[in-house]
Structure 1
Amino acid sequence: MKVKRSERLIDMTHYLVEHPRKLVPLTFFADRFQSAKSSISEDLVIVKESFKLRGVGTLQTVSGAAGGVKYIPGIKRKQAEELIDTLREHVSHSDRLLPGGYLYLTDILGDIHLMNHIGKLFAAAFADQDIDVIMTVATKGIGIAHAVARYLGVPVVVVRRDSKVTEGSTVSINYVSGSSKRIQTMLLSKRSLAQGSRVLIVDDFMRAGGTAAGMKSLLDEFSATVAGIGIFIESEYREEHLVDDYISLLKLAGVDEKDKTIRVTTGNYFDQVQSFLSTNE
């Protein structure tokens, strides 16, 4: 029994969004809906135009016998600006200020809608990179990592600071914390990351970049390559960062404990992904 075109379009759109960056042969949809490839191709043109109009990404067509179509997540600049403004407003609330100038972020990192914003922004920034896995350090970066992985269609690995029996054999390194200059340890299960993987590192907060630099060093033990680094909030830091090739959504520009004010600006996101966003206006 053939499926109506309206139903095909809905189902195709849902499948592609649920399987980002996966190459789907036209024969898959043709068999799924008992339709001719020519009809499927026409449907995909409609889906592609709808994606572009709404700024949710695009469809890439791969020709040849082994070809097909894949959904690449994206976002328009105006939408990105609105999402980052929303995040900035949440982070800037004075009641987030903790003693010592720290910020309370747990509620944001547990908010599914805000995490969805973060995942969409980072996925758009790194969608053109060859990425096998998302890496973060326990514990606050885990929500961000899963949000990004959801849009890029890749697994997540979590670096820990102490060994757990459930991790099995691990690889560990010592690294220097960028701000405190203390020696710390991080480790990763040998089973969690394949040799030679291309890894996107994400984290919730960066001051000097010691943790990100530590994860880069840990990846060397797996002969893995850093495909990019995404930071939710970077802090104003007068000295040189230990990592310099990263994308941040927000920047903590200043904290006044006496007046209980938090000054948050946009990070370097638009400087780093300008060329990509401009193609999605």
Structure 2
Amino acid sequence: MDGKFMRNQRVSAITKILIENPNKVINLNVFTNMLNAAKSTISEDIVIVRESLKRLEMGTIETISGAAGGVKFVCDISKEECEKFLEDLCKELQNQNRVILGNFLYLTDILSSPRYLKKAGTILASKFISNEIDYVVTVETKGIPLAYEVANKLGVELIIVRRGNKITEGTTISINYLSGSSNRIQTMSLSKKSLPSGSKCIFIDDFMKAGGTASGIKHLLQEFQSELLGIGVLIDDRSVENKLMEDYIALVEYDAPKDNKSAIVRISEKLDS
């Protein structure tokens, strides 16, 4: 573009580009060409962005050396902001009107709200940011928006596993798995084109009951010679004992109402597991 940009304009543009492309390495030439500035000037601007984000605990800017290097934004959230968000989420979920027939928890509005999804996605992504993850995996349907947010923050693709087979998926790999809560045999499938062999994945879902779905995902990934590095869920149902999966991260815990008592929702002990 023609003309010079003032420093505050350059800093604003650099911040926007980095935050909108998390975990993606952006070469400095992108900024020099866009902002009509020397590399030394852009480097000074990036220092300002890095220090501001670090001070606000909004994330970090990492420098990648080498000819193909540059800088990338790594998401984060302050402990105080995380705790405040989860406390507000617990209060919202504590509403007795959310418990519907069968002691199920109504979550549709939460799982379609950008206000909740962006923060929840950032928290979960920050727990896996140090892993070299290739894909985020989820199962249709309600967990998709949350999984998408996590994938976006990690800068990787989202893979959606189907319940049953879809003609449009082409050749698929299917497995039968046992639902941990109902002890029913169910089926999940994934197109052979979806996941390269040897991929490293995490599984993100909205709700962990007994862990049957997560266990099924683990075995499905094994069919692709791929690895499940971690599991993250929004809500963990603690009323279910002897879960099929124990190694996972959850944001909040839910105890279904019993003996005419209200449901209990609290920040999960597994958040830092």
Q: TM-score, normalised by structure 2?
A: 0.94
Q: Give the 5 Å matches for 1:1-281.
A: 1-237=3-239, 239-256=241-258, 258-259=260-261, 261-272=262-273
Letter in 1 for 2:144: I
Q: How many residues align?
A: 271
CA contact (8 A) 2:21 2:73 kept: yes
Tell me the alpha carbon deviations over residues 212-271 of structure 1, each in whole angstroms, 9 at most, x when there is no partner.
010010001111111211011111145322112210001113413734x21011113543
Distance 1:170 1:64 in 2: 40
Distance 1:61 1:268 in 2: 34
1:264 counterpart SS class = strand
Higher-RCO chain (CA-CA 8 Å, sequence separation at least 6): 1
Letter in 2 for 1:177: S
CA contact (8 A) 1:20 1:72 kept: yes
Distance 2:92 2:270 in 1: 18
Change over 3 Å in CA distance of 1:11–1:269 after alignment to 2: farther
Tell me the alpha carbon deviations over residues 22-62 of structure 1, each in whole angstroms, 9 at most, x when there is no partner.
11122221222221111111111100111112221101112
Distance 2:196 2:9 in 1: 40
Q: TM-score, normalised by structure 1?
A: 0.92
2:104 counterpart SS class = coil
What residue is the counterpart of 1:277 in the other structure? none
Change over 3 Å in CA distance of 1:141–1:52 after alignment to 2: same
Distance 1:255 1:32 in 2: 57
CA contact (8 A) 1:208 1:237 kept: no
Distance 2:111 2:156 in 1: 20
Unaligned runs of 5+ in 2: none
User: What's the RMSD between the two structures over aligned residues?
Assistant: 1.5
Distance 2:270 2:22 in 1: 22
CA contact (8 A) 1:134 1:199 kept: yes
4+ residue stretches of structure 1 with deviation over 6 A? none
What residue is the counterpart of 1:276 in the other structure? none
CA contact (8 A) 2:103 2:256 kept: no
CA contact (8 A) 1:101 1:257 kept: no
Letter in 1 for 2:246: D
Distance 1:110 1:126 in 2: 23
Distance 2:61 2:53 in 1: 8
Distance 1:172 1:243 in 2: 20
Distance 1:53 1:34 in 2: 28
Tell me the alpha carbon deviations over residues 127-150 of structure 1, each in whole angstroms, 9 at most, x when there is no partner.
111111111111111111112122
CA contact (8 A) 1:253 1:264 kept: yes
Distance 2:258 2:110 in 1: 21
Distance 2:221 2:84 in 1: 34
